[in-house]
Structure 1
Amino acid sequence: MTTPAATAVSEIELRFPGVDRDLAGTVTLPGGAGPFPAAVLVSGSGPVDRDSNAPRLAIDSTRQLAHALARAGIATLRYDKRGVGQSRLLRDGATEGRNGWMRVGLFDNADDVAAAFTALAARPDVRAGQLFLVGHSEGAILVTIAAARMADAATGPRPAAVVLLAGAARPGDAVLRRQAGMLAPTLPAPVRGLLKLLRTDLVRQVGRNHDKIRATSTDIARVGGARLNAKWFREYLGYDPRADLARLRIPVLAVTGSKDLQVDPADLAAIAEIVPGPVQTWLAPEVTHMLRTQPGPPSLRAYKEEVRRPVDPGLLDRVATWLTDQAPAS
């Protein structure tokens, strides 16, 4: 959805520091005179920057979403995660070094969503009462946590609506076990053959690794020969989003692709049942976890090819139209 007065897009760099982090992001503004309705955009898991780009996979979804929303007259703030890009993780007053993101937990990330929301709400070019949260994958979990916390807060800004893109409605350990089961058939044939030869059940192995992670106590740990952000995994494995979804009495849009291997599209129905506020769900046809369409069978191996194409225009339009409906002109 594009409004004639909102075709020009401008961007402003923004920093919002805290005691244990110094976050950097980009405010994207529509053309014309503000104040504008506005949204914080939250990326998925891992070392992703404000555009949802990781070192080996340039997903670019939040940048494309920011520009689509700006063309629809909605301002946005997207930001680098702690220890990624220009954002810094601070420990004892000093900047954490390389791979600082690995020391950050799930609930630290949720704190940063709230900090970004507060920073956006303080700007004179955004419209109080028409502020939103939009999250993809882990970002959908984070905005659920943040929105539920803000709903219970005595003071401070609160979101008027939430968008969950590929948002799960089951505990983290169940999500990861399902992912293992869905991804196993898409592995290269030699890998599948080796697993069969070794009589290795991938889902069962993932469960064993979860037990090892739960037994750790440090921010970073080595499990199964791999160095992991153990704090994040411990918190994610034990987190059940259903309790926080049940606290959302504001409008919610939940969108998951029909070919999403990482989040069960059936969770859309669960979200609709759990959330007490007005809910709209959409099963995006042919769309994968990368928010792109995939004409063939979904496969993790196709991600690098998928991200060369733009985010599905229908998905961008659905989100922009729904948010515009939540922000009637004053």
Structure 2
Amino acid sequence: MLNAHAQGTATFNSQDIELDTERGLLKGTLTLPNTPSPLKVVLIISGSGPTDRNGNNPFARNNSLQLLAHGLSDKGIATVRYDKRGVAESKAAAVTEENLRFEDYIIDAELWIRKLKKDNRFSHVLVLGHSEGSLIGMVAARKANADAFISVAGAGQPANQIIRQQLQQQPIMVSLAAAPILAKLEAGETVAEVPPMLLSLFRPSVQPYLLSWFQYDPRQEIKHLQVRSLIVQGDQDLQVPFSEAELLAAAADKSELVIIKGMNHVLKEVPTDRASNIASYSKPTLPLASELIPVISEFIKQLR
């Protein structure tokens, strides 16, 4: 399906794109600006949970990644964004929770990069990972030899350390009950008996995924990248503090760090009060933070 859109002064086309893997079909959207090839193309990887190619999930619709793709097209940059395995139109490619591993998402992203690198419409293939997609993207970018990497609202610490910090902010009875479970998982052991109040985080069926996720340290992964990296973080992000971006930047020799004033986790420009910040998660027409597209597009245009 081909759709023409007007975005600012540019016209771009969005069309369906598919990736045929050994374990099912992944579906996405290719957005092409109305400018001559070859183009630079950005693979956009969404964050954790059932987040689709547009940055939406069943609980909140903000269209953040769709707006990002359209904004980049207005700068003459192509994008591909896709529904992760098991999400939205890629639901048929789902893996059971017991069998899902963090590496599954890395392999899928790597396959997308390789597909785009073979497409002669594109001169450069970049990877942009949002939130959890940052870690997925930086590993896949290295493995598939992407031309550059962009982290947006990505963590700088391994997932187990972030979970520990989040648990410390919970009531004492929750943090005390969780501590021995987390310690066992960090040691590579699963836990059969989990208190009901912790099932959403540590249910036995999700523990193999957590074990695989805990093995990756974003600072080590970005350190191994041989290409330029842009690290973007908003100072109004309620989920990922900008100290995480600073950790990533300190670990990566070829990196540029940009903190965007007023930007929250879903890339919207918000006031400083928490209520307005959270409300923006469900406002799909609210525009992106005004600095975001210029910062990313300028980084991309500098690639030779």
- Shorter-chain TM range is 0.7 to 0.9
Is the alpha carbon distance of 1:178 and 1:22 closer, same or farther for their aligned partners in structure 2, counting shifts above 3 Å?
same
3-state DSSP class of the match of 2:242? coil
Q: How far apart are 1:302 and its partner, in Å?
A: 4.3
Question: Is 2:265 the counterpart of 1:285?
Answer: no
- Deviation digits for residues 53-87 of structure 1, max 9, x if unmatched? 11111132211111111111111111001111121
- What TM-score do the two structures reach when normalised by structure 1? 0.78
Q: Which amino acid aligns with 2:179?
A: G
Q: Which amino acid aligns with 1:148?
A: R
Please name the residue that 1:276 is paired with: 253
Please name the residue that 1:245 is paired with: 222
Q: Identity of counterpart residues, as a percentage?
A: 25
Supply the distance in 1 between the matched residues of 2:287 and 2:98 (Cα, whole angstroms): 29
Q: How far apart are 1:239 and its partner, in Å?
A: 2.3
Please name the residue that 2:148 is paired with: 161
Q: Which amino acid aligns with 2:182?
A: H
Please name the residue that 1:110 is paired with: 106
Q: How far apart are 1:324 and its partner, in Å?
A: 1.8
Supply the distance in 1 between the matched residues of 2:63 and 2:97 (Cα, whole angstroms): 19
Is the alpha carbon distance of 1:84 and 1:255 closer, same or farther for their aligned partners in structure 2, counting shifts above 3 Å?
same
Supply the distance in 2 between the matched residues of 1:49 and 1:172 (Cα, whole angstroms): 21
Please name the residue that 2:157 is paired with: 170
Of residues 71-80 and 208-217 in structure 1, the stretch that sits farther from structure 2 once superposed is 208-217
Is the alpha carbon distance of 1:281 and 1:298 closer, same or farther for their aligned partners in structure 2, counting shifts above 3 Å?
farther
Supply the distance in 2 between the matched residues of 1:289 and 1:51 (Cα, whole angstroms): 14
Question: Is 2:123 the counterpart of 1:120?
Answer: no
Q: How far apart are 1:108 and its partner, in Å?
A: 0.7
3-state DSSP class of the match of 1:58? coil
- Structure 2: stretches of 5+ with no match in the other structure: 1-6
Please name the residue that 1:235 is paired with: 212
Matches of residues 66-215 of structure 1 in structure 2 within 5 Å?
66-88=69-91, 90=93, 100=96, 103-127=99-123, 130-150=124-144, 158-181=145-168, 195=171, 199-200=172-173, 202-211=174-183, 215=189
**Of the candidates 291, 303, 316, which is equivalent to residue 278 of structure 2?**
303
Contact 1:6–1:32 under 8 Å retained in 2: no
Question: Is 2:297 the counterpart of 1:326?
Answer: no
Supply the distance in 2 between the matched residues of 1:102 and 1:316 (Cα, whole angstroms): 38
Q: Which amino acid aligns with 2:246?
A: A
- Deviation digits for residues 173-224 of structure 1, max 9, x if unmatched? 1122333456x5xxxxxxxxxx4xxx53x54454345346664389xxx883
Q: How far apart are 1:89 and its partner, in Å?
A: 5.3
Question: Is 2:27 the counterpart of 1:24?
Answer: yes
3-state DSSP class of the match of 1:312? coil
3-state DSSP class of the match of 1:313? coil
Contact 1:26–1:79 under 8 Å retained in 2: yes
Contact 1:84–1:101 under 8 Å retained in 2: no
Please name the residue that 2:56 is paired with: 53
Q: How far apart are 1:246 and its partner, in Å?
A: 1.3
Is the alpha carbon distance of 1:139 and 1:175 closer, same or farther for their aligned partners in structure 2, counting shifts above 3 Å?
same
Supply the distance in 2 between the matched residues of 1:217 and 1:77 (Cα, whole angstroms): 39
Contact 2:28–2:82 under 8 Å retained in 1: yes
Contact 1:21–1:88 under 8 Å retained in 2: no
Supply the distance in 2 between the matched residues of 1:101 and 1:79 (Cα, whole angstroms): 20
3-state DSSP class of the match of 1:262? coil
Supply the distance in 2 between the matched residues of 1:11 and 1:286 (Cα, whole angstroms): 29
Contact 2:181–2:191 under 8 Å retained in 1: no
Aligned residues: 289
3-state DSSP class of the match of 2:76? coil
Supply the distance in 1 between the matched residues of 2:181 and 2:235 (Cα, whole angstroms): 29
Please name the residue that 2:3 is paired with: none
3-state DSSP class of the match of 2:86? coil
Is the alpha carbon distance of 1:142 and 1:65 closer, same or farther for their aligned partners in structure 2, counting shifts above 3 Å?
same
Q: Which amino acid aligns with 2:26?
A: L
- Deviation digits for residues 266-288 of structure 1, max 9, x if unmatched? 233322221132x1101111222
Contact 2:43–2:80 under 8 Å retained in 1: yes
Is the alpha carbon distance of 1:26 and 1:20 closer, same or farther for their aligned partners in structure 2, counting shifts above 3 Å?
same
Contact 2:238–2:264 under 8 Å retained in 1: yes
- What TM-score do the two structures reach when normalised by structure 2? 0.84
Contact 2:234–2:263 under 8 Å retained in 1: yes
- Structure 1: stretches of 5+ with no match in the other structure: 151-157, 185-194
Q: How far apart are 1:142 and its partner, in Å?
A: 0.6
3-state DSSP class of the match of 1:14? strand
Q: How far apart are 1:17 and its partner, in Å?
A: 1.0
Q: CA RMSD in A?
A: 2.9
Supply the distance in 1 between the matched residues of 2:70 and 2:141 (Cα, whole angstroms): 24
Contact 2:236–2:272 under 8 Å retained in 1: no
